[in-house]
Structure 1
Amino acid sequence: MRVDFVKMHGLGNDFVVLDARAQALPPLGEGMASALADRRSGIGCDQLILLEPSGAADFRMRIFNADGSEVGACGNASRAVALLHGKPARVETGGGIIAVEPRGDGASVDMGEPRFDWQDIPLAYGMDTALMPVSWEGLDQPGAVNVGNPHVVFFVADCDAVPLDRIGPEIETDPLFPERVNVNVASVTDRGHIRLRVWERGAGLTRACGTGACATAVHAMRRGLVERDVAVALPGGTLTIAWGEDNRIRMTGPATEAYRGSFEWGDFA
């Protein structure tokens, strides 16, 4: 069975998009997702995106990390899918229904409402998620927020100086986070700007993470460090994050289609 794909990226965070809305595909498991994501023997990507019909929204978006694990949300992929779809849409995800709207060379995405209760992150036991009494090798008192997937956020003087490639996987797999966690280290430049690096669960260091930008901005706003509309600069580029009075997060930024191709399903099944 020959299957078409679209290779896309948002600020360097790249995706292979499979569209099963018009033509059904065989079941996609973790093994096949990770095989397609492999950069040496597959197509190569940070996340594999599967579009399917939905009874609750215009269509459904499923998200598989490079290790094959399925997750509930991906902000950069949401912008890419909006660009691919070409018109405003409501999209069902594992983290809830979001609204996307293509804009020029990118998109604006209503990411929904953040969740702060420790059970919603989730954490292994109860604590204040605004100022958590935990630390890892000098990274201490983080905040936690769920924006469709779980994030822990550390504010530091210089996010570039943190050895995130080493400490990121340690925090991601800490027993405190039973579903693992995305790790964000951020530096507040001023009340309108944040610098951010992200270790993404199941994918590793990434050039950009849309949900990470949302989680970090909201946590900074919650702590009173920035205004309610900020620019978040990641290694791959900048996203604009606004947290409205209606408690909903809106993310705006670019997305790019890189190329299209096809593959034999049986080669990766």
Structure 2
Amino acid sequence: MIIPFRKMHGLGNDFVVLDARRAPLPVTPARAAAIADRHRGIGCDQLIIMEPGREGADLFMRILNPDGSEAGACGNATRCIADLAMAEAGTEAVTIRTISGLLPSETLPGGIIRVDMGPARLGWADVPLAREMDTLHLPLSADGVSDPAACSMGNPHATFFVPDLDAIDAARIGPALEHDALFPQRANIGFVQVLAPDHIRLVVWERGAGLTLACGSGACAALVNTARRGLCGRAATVSLPGGDLHIEWRVDGHVLMSGPTATAFTGMIELDAYPA
């Protein structure tokens, strides 16, 4: 089976996008992992499958990590798919559904895409954590980092606060933190340096993907957790290795994420060439 694909990215967080809205595609976890491989496949941080809309959404977005596992949220991918869907429909708003819920999206001036990522979930069972505890202070530490805060943005996040982000070896300590027993579904691990009340720096070790140039849901979680600690306001620029996102935590609990998208290239892929 030979089908078209699109390679897109948000701030360098890159995706292979397949369209299964007209007919299902035989994409297994093993096949997704093979396509995501940067040496033997196309290469991406996540494989995105567009499926027919359901339950109040214009389309359903399935998110598969490079290890084949399914993710509940991906902010940068949501912006990409929203941009694509709005261009197809000739509209300035679209609603996307993932396994974690609805994500209303719109186009702002200058081609910026804004997504309502839904409410930040702050309860220990919502993250989820392995046992009841205060999500603002977790009993978790690694070399040079400790005392993170946690929340869910449709997927689990833990945020560590550090004075110097450049001194943190996220690639070395991220894997063990992701798989810590405190996180029964693993977790995305963020490292934040506060630059100003309206500006923070962030590096994310992403669950199932590793270090990425940007993580949209991670930026949302970082803003929420930093604001909960009283270290920044409820709106800020979040600077990631791939560029900047603007995040706002509204008083109703919803988190808005704004940023650019891009299509890198398009092509054709022979699905049967990858292991099922």
Q: 1:144 aligns with which of 133, 146, 150?
A: 150
Structure 1 residue 55, shift from structure 2 partner? 2.1
- Partner residue of 1:257? 263
Q: How far does the alpha carbon of each residue in 1:101-122 deviate from its partner, in whole angstroms, 9 at most, with x for none?
A: 1334331000000101111111
Distance (Å, rounded) in 2 between the aligned partners of 1:99 and 1:18: 21
Deviation at 1:160, TM superposition (A): 1.8
Secondary structure of 1:120's aligned partner: coil
Query: 1:90 touches 1:100 (CA, 8 Å); kept in 2?
Result: yes
Match of 1:105 among 111, 115, 122: 111
Where structure 2 has 5 or more consecutive residues not aligned to the other structure, the ranges are none
Provide the residue aligned with 1:20 in structure 2: 20
- Structure 2 CA distance, aligned partners of 1:116 and 1:179? 16
Q: 1:6-17 counterparts in 2 under 5 A? A: 6-17=6-17
- Are the aligned partners of 2:119 and 2:254 in contact in 1 as well (CA < 8 Å)? yes
Alpha-carbon distance in structure 1 between the residues aligned to 2:210 and 2:54: 33
- Map residues 141-180 of structure 1 onto 2, 5 A cutoff: 141-180=147-186
One-letter amino acid matched to 1:105: G
| Correspondence for 1:235 | 241
Q: What SS does the aligned partner of 1:35 have? A: helix
Where 1:118 maps in the other structure, the secondary structure is: coil
* 1:98/1:110 contact within 8 Å kept: yes
CA deviation map 1:162-205 (0-9, x unaligned): 11111000100111111010000010001010000010011101
Residue 138 of structure 1, CA deviation: 3.0
Matched ranges for 1:43-192 at <5 A? 43-56=42-55, 57-86=57-86, 87=91, 88-103=93-108, 104-192=110-198
Indicate which of 189, 202, 222 corresponds to 1:216: 222
Q: Distance in 2 between matches of 1:127 and 1:40?
A: 42
Distance in 2 separating the partners of 1:78 and 1:171: 26
Instruction: Write the distance in 2 (CA, Å) between the matches of 1:102 and 1:258.
Output: 20
Write the letter of the residue equivalent to 1:91. I
Shift of 1:137: 2.2
User: Does the residue aligned with 2:180 lie in a helix, a strand or coil?
Assistant: coil
Runs (5+) with no aligned partner, structure 1? none
Deviation (angstroms), 1:159: 1.3
2:4 counterpart of 1:4: yes
Question: Partner of 2:125: helix, strand, or coil?
Answer: helix
Structure 1: distance between partners of 2:214 and 2:172: 18
Once the two structures are TM-superposed, the CA of residue 241 in structure 1 deviates from its matched residue by 0.2
Is the Cα–Cα contact under 8 Å of residues 83 and 106 in structure 1 kept in the other structure? no
User: Which residue matches 2:203?
Assistant: 197
Quote the Cα distance in structure 2 between the aligned partners of 1:95 and 1:106.
23
CA contact (8 A) 1:79 1:102 kept: no
Structure 1 residues 110-169: Cα deviation after superposition (integer angstroms, max 9, x where no partner):
000010111111111111001123222231110001001000000000112111111000
Contact 1:160 1:197 in 2 (8 A): no
**Do the aligned residues in 1 keep the contact of 2:12 with 2:213 (CA within 8 Å)?**
yes
Runs of 4+ that moved beyond 2 A: 102-106
Match of 1:29 in 2: 28
Aligned residues between the structures: 268
CA contact (8 A) 1:122 1:177 kept: yes
Amino acid at match of 1:61: M
Q: Say if 1:208 and 1:235, in contact at 8 Å, map to a contact too.
A: yes
Superposition CA RMSD, Å: 1.0
Output the CA distance in 1 between the equivalents of 2:195 and 2:171. 23
How many angstroms apart in 1 are the aligned matches of 2:207 and 2:54? 29
Percent same amino acid among aligned pairs?
A: 52
